[in-house]
Each structure stands twice: as structure tokens, then as C-alpha cells.
Structure 1
Amino acid sequence: MLKKLSSLFILLLLISACEKLETKKGAGKFGMLDTDVPEFAAIEFFNQIYHTKDLSGALKLSTPKMQRLLRSYHTNKGVQRHVLNMRFDKVNIQPSTRSAGRNEFAKDAKISLFFEGDLDGNILKDLRIVSMIRVKKEWLVDDVSAE
């Protein structure tokens, strides 16, 4: 009886050890931003605009007001030029290091993002303030300004 029980215990241990753990995708300089914080959603919104071929990912991360604005320009290049007034060939996006609040528990947030990239061989640096709103458990982009 003891042999059967120990064999069963070892079998259960082996099966549980083989389970895959789900990892969260992080963002930021060291990958430490989590999906529960507004900085992650803001960076992901801009990654969808600057690093993909269509606006579908950015639309999912937008409020209805921002969705209407993005759809009116049809393409990523149109949004970059007319909505954001920032065009890049390649860009690196980082959140402000000064925001030390607990935004993951708030209903809205303002996030400062630094953009560093190049356009036609010229290095460009810019800053944008992103207004985020929490809808259920998701952070959505409501407005982008150059304040």
C-alpha cells in the first residue's frame, strides 16, 4: 500500500512539474512594466502605431473617442503625421521615470512618454502626455497631447 501511495505521489509530482507557467509580457527599459499599469497600455498603443502595419491593435487600446479619430486617418502613417505630429522610421518609447504613483489603482492617469528615434537619418526626440482611462480592468488611451 505504501509503495502504491509513494508511486502515485511521485507521478503527481512529475505531472505538476511539467505544467507550463504563463508569463506576462513586460515593457519599459527593463521589461518591468506589467499589464495592470497604465504605462504598459500607453507604450503598447504607440507600439501598435509605429511597429505594425495596421491600426487594429491601437484601436483595441483606445476609447471610442480616440477610435473615431484614428479611423478617420485610415493608416498608421496618417495617424503619425496628423494626429500625433510625430513621424519616425525607427523609434524607442520609454515612460517617464518620475511617475512614482500607484496608477494601477486609479480610474484615470496621465502618462509622460519619451520618444527617441530617427527619420531620414536625423535623430529626433519628443515627449507626449497620454491621458488614460480605466474601463473595467483595461487601460485605454483617451487623448494624446504635446503639452
Structure 2
Amino acid sequence: MRKFCWIVILCLSVFACSSPDEEEVKAGKYGMMGSDTPQYAAVIFMRAVYNDKNLDRATKLSTERFARILKGYHTNKNVQRQVFNLRLDDMTTEPISGGALLFSEKQKSADIEMKIIGHYNNKKITELKTISLVKESGDWKVKSVSNTVP
């Protein structure tokens, strides 16, 4: 009986300490989106800025220049306030349009319009942002963020 208890405790500690896999993106046609598309990179970047505790993943998904800009703000909340001009407590996002060419593997840059829905101070906020991406060594990197509607 004592041996069984130790095995259960060991199993629980191993499963509790393991990190979850990459989060699944439920967007695109039929709720599936390829990880090699600019839309996928834009969604993951937005989730990194709004849902992560630090900017590590967001800077990895950015160009070198834009990553330096993000690091200059030090925290996610500062990036939300200064770069996006949009503070949110919780957020969901989905791509609206952009980056859809017939031969997307030959595409070098893309502008993706993102619909952002979230809450701040118990108020629902809906915004549109345009994320500009470039393809660097086979990966999509965020180059800039701007307002879709001026």
C-alpha cells in the first residue's frame, strides 16, 4: 500500500510539472489554420502580448527591429498601452482578412487585419488592428502594428 501511494504521488508530480504543448489556434476555415501561414503567426503574436506573463514569445515572433521596440517597453502592459493603444484584461482574436494568395508559399510580406474582442474594467471592447508581417528565413515575423480604422 505504501509503495502504491509513492507511485501515485510521483505520477501526480510529473504530470503537474509538465508544460502544456503549444496552444491550438481555432481560426480559419473549419476552425483549422496551418502553422506556416501569416494569419497563424499574427494570432500567436497577439496571444503572446495579451496572455503571456512576459514578452519572450512576442519578441521571438518579431523582426529584430520590432523586437527591440517591444523590449524597450519592458512589460506586456506597457506594450499594450503604447504600441497597441489598447489595454485589455482578457482577449480573443481572429484574423479578418489579408495574406491570402493562391501561392502563399511564394509570399514575402502580408498585412493581416485582426479583430480583437476583450474586456477592460468590465466593458466590452472590439477593435481592429493591422499586423504587418515579413517572411524571414521561412518564418513569419511581425514587422509593425497599426490601427486598421484611423
TM-score, normalised relative to structure 1:
0.78
Q: Does 1:51 align with 2:78?
A: no
Identity of aligned residues (%): 34
Written as runs of structure 1 = structure 2, the 5 A alignment for 1:39-78 is: 39-78=39-78
Other structure's SS at 1:78 match: helix
5+ residue gaps in structure 1?
Answer: 1-23
Distance 1:98 1:84 in 2: 19
Kindly indicate whether the alpha-carbon contact (under 8 Å) linking 1:38 and 1:104 is maintained by their aligned counterparts in 2.
no
Distance 1:47 1:39 in 2: 12
Tell me how far 1:32 sits from its aligned partner: 1.0
Tell me how far 1:116 sits from its aligned partner: 0.6
Tell me how far 1:47 sits from its aligned partner: 0.5
Distance 1:25 1:98 in 2: 21
* Count of residues in Structure 1 that have an aligned counterpart in Structure 2: 125
Tell me how far 1:79 sits from its aligned partner: 0.2
Distance 2:52 2:62 in 1: 16
Tell me how far 1:33 sits from its aligned partner: 1.1
Kindly indicate whether the alpha-carbon contact (under 8 Å) linking 2:97 and 2:114 is maintained by their aligned counterparts in 1.
no
Relative to structure 1, the CA distance from residue 64 to residue 95 in structure 2 (aligned partners, 3 Å threshold; closer, same or farther) is same
Larger-gyration structure (1/2): 1
Deviations 1:38-61 (A, max 9, x none): 000011001001111000000000
Amino acid corresponding to residue 136 of structure 1 in structure 2? S
Relative to structure 1, the CA distance from residue 145 to residue 98 in structure 2 (aligned partners, 3 Å threshold; closer, same or farther) is closer
Name the residue aligned to 1:141.
142
Relative to structure 1, the CA distance from residue 68 to residue 122 in structure 2 (aligned partners, 3 Å threshold; closer, same or farther) is same
5+ residue gaps in structure 2?
Answer: 1-22
Name the residue aligned to 2:27.
28
Name the residue aligned to 2:101.
101
Other structure's SS at 1:132 match: strand
Other structure's SS at 1:96 match: strand
Relative to structure 1, the CA distance from residue 140 to residue 32 in structure 2 (aligned partners, 3 Å threshold; closer, same or farther) is same
Name the Cα RMSD after superposition.
2.1
